[in-house]
Amino acid sequence: MMNLSSKLPNLGTTIFTKMSQLAQEHNAINLSQGFPDFPPSPKLLNLVKQALEENHNQYAPLAGLRSLRETLAEKLQKSYQQKYSAENEITITAGATQAIFTAISAFIKPKDEVIIFKPAYDCYEPAIELYAGKPILIEMKAPEYEIDWQEVSAKINANTKMIVINTPHNPTGTVLEKEDLLQLQQLTENTDILVLSDEVYEHLIFDGREHQSVARFPELAKRSLITYSFGKTFHVTGWKVGYCVAPETLMKEFRKVHQYNVFCVNHPMQWALNEYLQNPEHYLELSDFYQKKRDFFLAQIKDSRFKFIPAQGTYFQTASYSNISDEKDTDFALRLIKEKGLATIPVSVFNKNQKDELMLRFCFAKKKETLLKAAEIITSI
């Protein structure tokens, strides 16, 4: 046997894979992994068919189809009043996770420190550690999950290379407010700190709130790489198509890694997405669409023993089971699958030091009948 030394010795299979596999084994309703169980728009599917038949089947340009990048530049200008060059500042990626990994790969060197807010989506830390960077973890406490900017200020030092933010936030369903972004802008002003902003749920935001993209803040935008996801927006997570926007100086370095990572991204899907984006209603209507699903789900479980604050964005709802049990959330989630036929995600896996606050995450991007069946189980516990 070869004597191999792992670069990520403490990393195992993701919680999403584990819980989805268990859901299949136990024939459980799957509210764990974040994907819809309903189909995407027939119009979008027909556009993909058209792209295939018209032979948009060879390599796309490294940065993505020019027409799609031009459409996105116009969308960003209208949405966030920030001008990005289609030629030099927008790159189509193989999903947002690839964009995040590429951004970290391009800029993080040994001993660089990267501030992350926990609970956090689980792809950030491994990428940082792979390049010998040091994750600096700042805890957001349940159930409000707000950022303590004084703690952030205290953590910033000469080794701070990057701050990663995620809004709307997975797994908690919270969103950053304008004041949060102004605090971040002030803390990074006159520094060389980069911001990596994960905004894949930009169009899934509720109760009249407005998405506070870093693109809205000119001084932040100058130092920021922003990642987006078509999969989350258009119910096609399996397509794995997203994009990254950044100032030209940053995007130049990003593309150096991108070209040898994936080189380019699925051509027919890009063509179809560009055509579909010509009607802004296809994404502007999403907040109302998912808010109705959130409200329906919460109405069904309001008389349960779970405690919750309605999600402000994303298609995830966290809830505390402290009125039901004090067992570890990983054990409780496993028991729900095996005994009740319901798969969820224990929030501790996203927390600093896997701190257990007796919280579960439910995905409500599901058909009404799926949510009804899940709610029946939840209210029976």
Domain of 29, CATH number, reads 3.90.1150.10
Query: What CATH number does the domain containing 167 carry?
Result: 3.40.640.10
pLDDT at 12 over 80: no
**68: nearest Cα among 53, 51, 43:** 51
Q: 268: Cβ–Cβ under 8 A, 6 or more apart, which residues?
A: 48, 51, 52, 56, 57
Alpha helices in 34-177 (DSSP H): 42-53, 66-80, 96-107, 124-130, 149-155
Question: Which structural domain range is residue 341 located in?
Answer: 15-40+284-380
Same domain (yes/no): 210, 127: yes
Cα–Cα distances in angstroms (integers) from residue 176 to residues 15, 119, 163, 198, 210, in the given order: 25, 14, 14, 12, 10
Q: Look at residues 209, 150, 156 and name the one whose alpha carbon lies nearest to residue 183.
A: 150
Is 90 exceeded by the pLDDT of residue 16? Answer: no
Mean pLDDT of the chain: 96
| Per-residue confidence (pLDDT) for residue 3, from 0 to 100 | 81
What is the pLDDT, as a whole number, of residue 9? 87
Q: Angle, to 10 degrees, between the axis of helix 286-301 and the axis of helix 368-380?
A: 30
Percent of the chain with pLDDT over 70: 100
Q: Above 90 in pLDDT, residue 258? A: yes
Task: Quote the number of domains for the chain.
Answer: 2
Same domain as 370, residue 270: no
98-143 tens-digit pLDDT: 999 999 999 999 999 999 999 999 999 999 999 999 999 999 999 9
pLDDT tens for residues 199-245?
A: 999 999 999 999 999 999 999 999 999 999 999 999 999 999 999 99
What's residue 19's pLDDT?
84
Could you read off the pLDDT of 25-48 as tens digits, one per residue? 999 999 998 999 999 999 999 999
Name the percent of the chain lying above pLDDT 90.
Answer: 93
Residue 22 has pLDDT above 90, yes or no: no
**239 and 331 assigned to the same domain:** no
pLDDT score recorded for residue 375? 98
Q: What is the pLDDT of residue 14?
A: 79
pLDDT 10s digits, 43-54: 999 999 999 999
Q: Return the pLDDT at 233.
A: 97
355 in the same domain as 226: no
Residue 46: how many other CB atoms lie within 10 Å: 13
Q: Which of 224, 248, 281 is the last residue of a domain?
A: 281
Please tell me the predicted confidence (pLDDT) of residue 4. Answer: 83
Q: What is the mean pLDDT of residues 319-338?
A: 96
Residue 48: inside a domain: no
Task: Note the pLDDT of residue 196.
Answer: 98
Residue 7 domain-assigned (yes or no): no
**115 and 157 share a domain?**
yes
Of 251, 281, 311, the last residue of a domain is 281
Please enumerate in sequence order all residues whose Cβ is within 8 A of that of 193, keeping only pairs 6 or more positions apart, or say none.
156, 160, 161, 162, 163, 223
- Any domain includes 3: no
Output the pTM of the full model.
0.96
Q: What is the pLDDT of residues 148-169, one digit of tens each?
A: 999 999 999 999 999 999 999 9
2 pLDDT above the threshold of 90: no
Of 92, 39, 49, residue with least CA distance to 69: 92
* pLDDT at res. 297: 98
Confidence bin at 11 (pLDDT 50/70/90): confident
User: Quick one: pLDDT at residue 189?
Assistant: 96
SS3 361: strand
Q: What value does the mean pLDDT take over residues 6-33? A: 86
pLDDT in tens, 52-75: 999 999 999 999 999 999 999 999
The pLDDT value given to residue 246: 98
Confidence category of residue 23, pLDDT binned at 50, 70, 90:
confident
Choosing from 236, 262, 281, the residue where a domain stops is 281
